[in-house]
Amino acid sequence: MSEGASTLLAAAGLRATPQRTAIVGELVREPNDVTAQELHDRLRARGGSAPGLATVYRTLTRLAEAGVVDALTHHAGELCYRVCGDDHHHHFVCSRCHRVVEIGDCRIDAWLDDLAGRHGFDVTGHRVELEGVCAGCR
């Protein structure tokens, strides 16, 4: 999580323009997750020549496609973005706010191996998003 904006941009094969650096710098500061619109609002609130909403969307989409940031779906109709750790993990997400807890302790493999054997699947990966309401929203 201490990775700098330029490192993340490079990992996605994106040139570190001032606008992209500002976008990723703002995203890295967020411990939970944010939508493109929210990130755009924050950048505007900082003043100066903030990147346009389309640039924010495009940059986040490319970072997510490259697997550099995670895109989460706990708010209907909009994606939320987060800079996560590199290791395999899942997310506990709050359906009311943007709280995200990264869960590194994955124990799904044994169950998955059993299922895969029975159904003749060669499992190449899995994704699990755990939904709930966080302590602050309850």
Footprint on this chain of Zn ion (rule: CB under 5 A):
70, 84, 94, 96-97, 99, 106, 108, 134, 137
Q: How far is the CB of 107 from Zn ion (least distance, A)?
A: 8
With respect to Zn ion, which residue has the nearer C-beta, 16 or 84?
84
Q: How far is the CB of 83 from Zn ion (least distance, A)?
A: 8
CA 55 to chain centre: 17
With respect to Zn ion, which residue has the nearer C-beta, 36 or 69?
69
**3-class secondary structure, 90:** strand
Pair type for strands 78-82 and 100-103: unpaired
Q: Count, in order, helices (H) and strands (E) of the chain.
A: 5, 5
Q: How far is the CB of 78 from Zn ion (least distance, A)?
A: 16
With respect to Zn ion, which residue has the nearer C-beta, 10 or 130?
130
Contact present, 11 and 66 (Cβ < 8 Å): yes
Tokens read off for 122: 């060669």
Q: How far is the CB of 84 from Zn ion (least distance, A)?
A: 3
